[in-house]
Structure 1
Amino acid sequence: MKTFKVIGANAVSQWLNNHGEKLLDSVADCYCQFAQGQTVCPDSYFLRYPDQPQNRIIALPASIESDTAPVSGIKWIASFPGNLQKGLDRASAVVLLNDRETGYPIACLEGSQISSFRTAASAVLGAKYLHTTPGKIEHLAVVGSGLIAHTIVTLLEQTGWTIDAMTVIDLDKQRAAEFCGKFTHITTTSSDDIADIARADMILFATSAITPYVKDKALVAHKPTIIHMSLRDIAADIILEGQNFADDVDHAIKANTSLQLAEQQAGNRAFMAGNIVDLIKNQVKPDFNKARIYSPFGMGILDVMLGYQIYLDTPNEALCEMDDFFPTPYTQA
């Protein structure tokens, strides 16, 4: 029986902030393993509150079945937007890992950073394969000025992207201004007007919106790269006229995402060009005559894979070990 380990925020942060390229490679490899049937990735499960529709807790179970790193686990992540008014992060999470041979839990890791960085890695991969000038953004529009957006911009820069200018758009213009203050080396502007996305060659949506509000087709008539991380910002009409990709189509077309609304309107999924693996393997090419929209729903395999990598790499002095976490097996008592 393995010792149960607890890995906190500092150790998790240190790994994530020092392995940018390894992070991207690991996420791309995990997507490819999924496409090859080497993972188990059930649907996410949502705990919702009838009187608080903006709040939710999501369970993402997964298993990596490869010979090199077999492990199972689950991410349990809460999204409570009202936390921002309390000085707390919107999202909090843990990642639990289970030994693939015995099923015993082997570790609990602080999960919000793993979640934000794996989300960022997915976003950067989408940008890499869909943007007209990979590695260079002339004008980035960031819609939503929270942790996810910050992590994505940070990882873009960590992996060699240059950003000439950035407009940060948020209903709370003060939050947008504070976000700009974290990137003083970029020419930044804060705004509360969604029309400002029309000036950007790349648009990043990272909000807590639950229904589409971007409905004017003219805002994306310049055919930008759209990294649609919050999934519910864009009206179905815009989705149907774009070239659309997801991490996995079946996972992404549900839960009232913009993609599901587009399917309901169109009556089919012909508007989907493919999954991220189709881009990674060069099986589908970006169409620069359309807005290219990447809408990854989020897959638990990424959290489990990254959590396991951090578990393997974290030295004992940086974690807490519990030798007596499990009871003595009944047959040995």
Structure 2
Amino acid sequence: MSDLLTTTAERAAGGPSVPTFSVLSGQQVQQALTGRERELVALVEATYRLHGAGDSVNPPSYFLRFPDRPDSRIIALPASIGGSVHVDGLKWISSFPDNVRSGLPRASAVLILNDPETGYPFACLESSIISATRTAASAALAADWLSRGRPARPARIGFFGTGLIARYIHTFLAGTGWEFDEIGVHDVSADSAEGFRGYLRPSGAGGQVTVHDSAEGLIRSSDLVVFATVAGKPHVTDPAWFDHNPLVLHVSLRDLAPEVLLGAANFVDDVEHCLKADTSPHLVEQLTGDRDFLNGTLNDVLQGRAAPPTDRPVVFSPFGLGVLDLAVGKYVYDEVSRAGSLRLIDDFFHDLRRYG
């Protein structure tokens, strides 16, 4: 708590402490996170375990939608996490797909961290990088644990969707020891697919890189499939494409038709959060009227309460929890604070005297 407060003459006189407020730029966030993939995956695992143990508050996300811009949205993810992280906060993230046409990334975000003792916000962080990082760390964690019972670790990976999230997932897989003999790439935009292949070359990615013209070709030739698209409704409908029982990281949540999920073993990050907002798992629930198609959560696997089968496709559908953003954001804040690089906004809070 003391590192969040400014000592003033008022405090010396017995008055209240004055909270500080910092703004952390995207560059600072990037510097704090780069090259720490193993550490961040361990942090995300610890956060899942805290959440599973009930040491968190993670209300439903709130979707701000626009009648005149139906493809766009801004989402509020409030959360609170205990343990050694011990912070409250809110991620405010927008998704405007048309940005890509003008060369801007689809998503932008900020993260507000609040002091759990006073409720005062003490930092605002650029959060598109934090969001991508927690998503990629979660995917890498799931790929590790959900592949442990297989005869061999997947050696052929396919990326369906080739934007920022796909790049971060590849970075986190490579940074946590994954090696691939083949890397497949598919995107509805040929330019995006070629751009991702261009990223893979200097990244040091091993294995042959192939751009697939069809989704079916990509899926059938991959043992590990990563969906990282902006799809608003299912577009992969044929369960036969998954007859070779791949591990599927269904990160974008709305790619797979209910028929595909009903032929697979299904794991989510949080049942209540994932089965809403017309995600693919939510569509299955609406179709069947129950949740029997779910095999458990990732935390169930971490705790040994559930195990993925080897005779069916295994699909991980993570909704994305605000507690993960908080954990990674607090990690960044602590790293920048230790380096003495916090940018304090003087006099951000005004009129702190209760009676003026």
Confirm or deny a common fold (TM above 0.5): yes
1:172–1:192 CA contact under 8 A, matched in 2 = no
2:94 & 2:189 partners in 1: Cα distance?
A: 22
Cα 1:32–1:205 change in 2 (3 A) is: same
1:274 corresponds, among 296, 306, 310, to: 296
2:74–2:94 CA contact under 8 A, matched in 1 = yes
Q: Report the alpha carbon displacement of residue 319 of structure 1 after superposing the two structures with TM.
A: 3.3
Identity between Structure 1 and Structure 2 (%): 42
1:229 corresponds, among 251, 257, 265, to: 251
Q: Residue type matched to 1:100 in 2?
A: P
Q: Secondary structure at the match of 2:200?
A: coil
2:323 & 2:188 partners in 1: Cα distance?
A: 33
Q: Residue type matched to 2:279 in 1?
A: T
2:284 aligns with 262
State whether structure 2 residue 317 is matched by structure 1 residue 295.
yes
1:50 aligns with 67
2:252 & 2:98 partners in 1: Cα distance?
A: 17
1:21 aligns with 38
State whether structure 2 residue 88 is matched by structure 1 residue 72.
yes
Residues 117-161 of structure 1 deviation map (CA, whole Å, 9 limit, x = unaligned): 100011111111112659943211100010001000011001111
2:173 & 2:355 partners in 1: Cα distance?
A: 52
1:294 & 1:310 partners in 2: Cα distance?
A: 27
State whether structure 2 residue 55 is matched by structure 1 residue 38.
yes
Q: Report the alpha carbon displacement of residue 318 of structure 1 after superposing the two structures with TM.
A: 3.2
Q: How is 1:89-104 mapped onto 2 (pairs within 5 angstroms)?
A: 89-104=105-120
TM-score (norm 2): 0.90
State whether structure 2 residue 336 is matched by structure 1 residue 319.
no
Residues 216-263 of structure 1 deviation map (CA, whole Å, 9 limit, x = unaligned): 111111110000000000000111111000000111000000001111
Q: Report the alpha carbon displacement of residue 69 of structure 1 after superposing the two structures with TM.
A: 2.8
**Quick check: 126-135 or 257-266, which moved more?**
126-135
2:162 & 2:153 partners in 1: Cα distance?
A: 21
2:30 & 2:341 partners in 1: Cα distance?
A: 12
TM-score (norm 1): 0.96
2:252 & 2:286 partners in 1: Cα distance?
A: 19
1:136–1:162 CA contact under 8 A, matched in 2 = no
Q: Report the alpha carbon displacement of residue 2 of structure 1 after superposing the two structures with TM.
A: 2.5
State whether structure 2 residue 182 is matched by structure 1 residue 165.
yes
1:71 & 1:255 partners in 2: Cα distance?
A: 27
Q: Secondary structure at the match of 2:180?
A: strand
Q: Residue type matched to 2:101 in 1?
A: Q
1:189 & 1:318 partners in 2: Cα distance?
A: 43
1:163 & 1:61 partners in 2: Cα distance?
A: 37
1:135 & 1:222 partners in 2: Cα distance?
A: 14
1:177 aligns with 194
2:164 & 2:342 partners in 1: Cα distance?
A: 24
Q: Residue type matched to 1:21 in 2?
A: R
Q: Secondary structure at the match of 2:92?
A: strand
1:135–1:160 CA contact under 8 A, matched in 2 = no
1:84 & 1:288 partners in 2: Cα distance?
A: 39
Q: Report the alpha carbon displacement of residue 174 of structure 1 after superposing the two structures with TM.
A: 1.5
